[in-house]
Amino acid sequence: MHGTHPFATMALVSTLRKVLPTALVATLLAGCSNTPEPTAAPTTASSSASSSPATPAPTDPVAAAIGFPGEPTDITTGLDVPWGLAVLPDGTALVTLRDEARVLQVGPGVLNAIGADGEDGAVPDVYPDGEGGLLGIALSPDFATDNHVFLYQTARQDNRVVRYTLAQNRLTEPTEIVTGIPKNSTHNGGRIAFGPDGMLYIGTGDAQDRPTAQDVNSLGGKILRVLPDGSVPPDNPFSGSRTWSYGHRNPQGFGWDSAGRLIASEFGQDTWDELNVIRPGGNYGWPTVEGPGDGGGQFVAPVQTWATDDASPSGVAVTPDAVYVAALRGEKLWRVPLNPDGPTGTPDAYLDGTLGRLRTVEVGPDGTLWMLTSNTFRGEPRAGDDRLVTVPLV
């Protein structure tokens, strides 16, 4: 945006003020002047600065993500209830704003509004309510050729997954992939991710209707597995059903280790939050069991549990040596050791209270952890919240 004609800049500012929060407009304007970009080191998380210089990404960022979390640095600030994060091939990321129903492209020195066909460029047919709104985001495994972006969104009557084509900074050609997922003001699930098998995995909550979690024909309280067009894969465990695993209260984060195991976080009710290794057709016990216990072999027991005050686990990132879990109520980043047997051993807490509530964690394009905070919802916002930060592994 450097070298932009002043009249073009004024028009851009007018447009952005219609579609973006004031804090984001201010952040973007910092990149609109004709002055050279700064070459100073990135600011720390306590700063209100919104971006830092780009660094080259390694060939395999996940393979490079080994170590222990260091100090966070802001990438972008001033986000309103950010939720989902998907890293783009160019080293930037797409971020969803839950209540505003907007998608932003963010990265070091980058902040762009991604337009859509809804009012003022928002994603259409999103109806925020409590924990519902514009939630998870995933890129097609063939994104380099098809430009498909998948969004989990709360519509008027249900939660659903919709596929869009990203073209010229706009989300176009909406196509419904899965509809009819139960919705409520809480327990909407919302995380979506493509697995190493090329299938789309969808986390759904029980939407406050607990018995649905035990009904394999209901879409509530499940981890669903579908082909990219939303159809049922022939090797799913229940014939004709999108259900991959069931007995979930509100699964929130997904990641796969090098052995292909799906590892998922889950909100408990009053006592125990969970980290689970997901088995095809596995029953994870809700609402009969919360936390430890397998019901005499009837249910799959979690591999890790936390008291709900310590976690409320949301996003998950899996690296070669650890599983990282972003904690909302616990306001920390949990590191669970990962070995050939899976995520076992004593979890360690990092960034305890440093950033407040943590919603999402992903391996960034540079081998660091990229995380979204969630203090503008049920938190205590501080200057610059909410933010996307990078955390080195050292």
255-285 pLDDT tens trace = 999 999 999 999 999 999 999 999 999 999 9
The CA-atom distances, in angstroms, between 310 and each of 31, 273, 284, 381 are 39, 9, 21, 19
With vertex at residue 378, the alpha carbon angle to CA 373 and CA 380, rounded to the nearest 5 degrees, is 70
pLDDT of residue 58: 54
In sequence order, the β-bridge partners of residue 85 are 95
% helix / strand / coil in the chain, to the nearest 5?
Answer: 10, 35, 55
Quick check: 42 pLDDT over 90? no
pLDDT of residue 59: 72
Overall average pLDDT of the 339-366 stretch: 96
pLDDT of residue 39: 28
Overall average pLDDT of the 42-66 stretch: 55
CATH 2.120.10.30 segments of the chain: 50-391
pLDDT of residue 8: 34
Lowest mean pLDDT among 3-7, 21-25, 372-376: 3-7
Q: What homologous superfamily does CATH list for 50-391?
A: TolB, C-terminal domain (2.120.10.30)
Residue pair 390/75 in contact (Cβ under 8 Å)? The answer is yes
Selecting among 2, 5, 148, 187, the annotated active-site residue is: 187
- The DSSP annotation for 191-256 comes to -EEE-TTS-EEEE---TT-GGGGG-TTSSSSEEEEE-TTSPPPTTSSSTT--EEEE--S-EEEEEE
The overall average pLDDT reported for the chain is 88
Catalytic residue check, 187: yes
Residue 352, amino acid: D
Residue pair 290/268 in contact (Cβ under 8 Å)? The answer is yes
pLDDT of residue 48: 32
Overall average pLDDT of the 367-392 stretch: 97
The token pair that represents 121 in the structure block:
């460029």
pLDDT of residue 1: 40
pLDDT of residue 293: 87
Quick check: 62 pLDDT over 50? yes
Quick check: 354 pLDDT over 60? yes
Residue pLDDT, tens place only, 125-154: 999 999 999 999 999 999 999 999 999 999
Quick check: 57 pLDDT over 60? no
pLDDT of residue 54: 46
The token pair that represents 200 in the structure block:
């789309």
- What pTM, to 2 d.p., does this model score? 0.87
CA distance 348 to 339: 15
Q: List, in sequence order, the alpha helices (H) in the chain.
A: 6-19, 22-29, 61-64, 143-146
Overall average pLDDT of the 293-317 stretch: 96
